[in-house]
Amino acid sequence: MRAIISGGGTGGHIFPAVAIANCIKARYQDAEILFVGAEGKMEMQKVPQAGYKIIGLKIAGFQRKKLWKNISLPYKMLASRMKAKKVIKDFKPDIVVGVGGYASWATLKQAASLNIPTLLQEQNSFAGMSNKQLSTKAKTICVAYDNMQRFFDADKIVKTGNPIRKNISSIQENMHLHKAKAYSTFSLAEGKKTVLVIGGSLGARTINTAIENSLDFFIDNDIQLLWQTGKFYYNDILARTKDKLATTQNIHIHEFIFDMEQAYSVADVVISRAGALSISELCCVGKPTILIPSPNVAEDHQTKNAMALVEKNAAIMVKDSQANEKLLLELKNLLADDEKQTTLGKNILSLAIFNADELIVNEIEKIVKK
């Protein structure tokens, strides 16, 4: 088995790519896997850390806000395709897998022109322009949401879900064990309602502002807050809230939470962004969730991801622009309604796909065997 996996730019693309690679290696110990990413992007560090070789292309996306930066784009696209062609000819893959991101477009375009079979993994409920273009030549398109025939040929679609971390995909089997550990890990009191707030590793300004303005609610109602601020906001938030923190044991602020399986297990309610990978994790966790989609993403796909859950009564959505006015109200109402919590938790868990990596590798095997 010789596979090229291409894409990146964000953790939402990189993690599924590495999970697919790990699953291939678990089945085929002598498999040869090469990653192709974009120079200067996150994958150039994260992929080698995961133990795989990566080659970078000089490619960038279309700049909607700084149009003058697009002058060199045609040259970068041509140069990237030429380099991708050489990489493919040298490596001689059985299959090329695209997970989204700038490099994915150049690599899969070139693979198709060389008659190398390709597979797409689309994480979001709303397909981007790049994957829509690449889908015409792809043999199979692995998706995480229903109704993706709006974007792709229905005959090519296989619903596999998004690969997520093993410690999260197995969380249901170990929920009580994780929860017992969480009380000491985060210095939480047993028996109190606990709200988990996560806005990504860098943080989410709108969510942080809304939570900071609501601290009195947690203190006055004896509700615990486990709050990941992200590294951009952590120090400023600590400085502004130190007087309030001195008066309570209920507020627990972290720059980044490493033991997410413990944090999820102890949470009664989760507040989160609506990235594709976050939602796939939250489905496996099965806790009542309030989603606040980031507005700063291509084609507003986080809102579409969130709405796919809202339409199935599996989550509550608050618009980013309304978070300051509405987040606390929605949280109060949810915490006061045990029946609603149970319904949301049950419905979001029903959408979980726990073995997405294996399902995707099944599709890769089918293509290679053909």
Higher pLDDT, 59 or 99: 99
Residue 205 φ/ψ, nearest 5 degrees = -60, -45
Q: Could you tell me which residue, 13 or 293, shows the higher pLDDT?
A: 293
pLDDT reading at 9 higher than 90: no
Is there a contact between 57 and 36 (Cβ–Cβ < 8 Å)?
Answer: yes
* Residues 6 or more apart whose Cβ sits within 8 Å of residue 125: 144, 145, 147, 148, 276, 301, 304, 305, 307, 308
Q: Check residue 201 and give its pLDDT.
A: 65
Cβ-contact 280, 19 below 8 angstroms: no
Residue-averaged pLDDT of the chain: 93
Which residues are CB-contacts of 148 (< 8 A; sequence separation ≥ 6)?
A: 122, 125, 127, 141, 157, 159
Confidence of residue 361 (pLDDT cuts 50, 70, 90): very high
d(CA 200, CA 232): 11
**Comparing 27-31, 102-106, 225-229, which segment has the lowest mean pLDDT?**
102-106
Residues in the chain: 370
Task: Give the pairing of strands 2-6 and 95-98.
Answer: parallel
Q: What is the DSSP letter of 188?
A: P
At residue 63, the pLDDT reads: 56
Cα separations in angstroms, 213 against 218, 234, 236, 326, 335:
11, 15, 14, 12, 18
354 pLDDT more than 60:
yes
- Which residues are paired to 251 by β-bridges? 225
Interhelix angle for 11-27 vs 276-285, to 10°?
Answer: 60
Backbone torsions φ then ψ of 256, nearest 5 degrees: -150, 140
CA dist., res. 54 & res. 52, Å (int): 6
Residue 311: what pLDDT?
97
339 and 345 in contact (C-beta within 8 Å)?
no
pLDDT on residue 76: 66
**Spatial distance between the Cα atoms of 69 and 60, rounded to a whole number of angstroms:** 10
Both tokens assigned to 321:
């622009």
How much is the pLDDT for 70?
56
Q: How far apart are alpha carbons 251 and 73 in whole angstroms?
A: 47
- Residue 198 is encoded by which pair of tokens? 């996560």
pTM of the model: 0.90
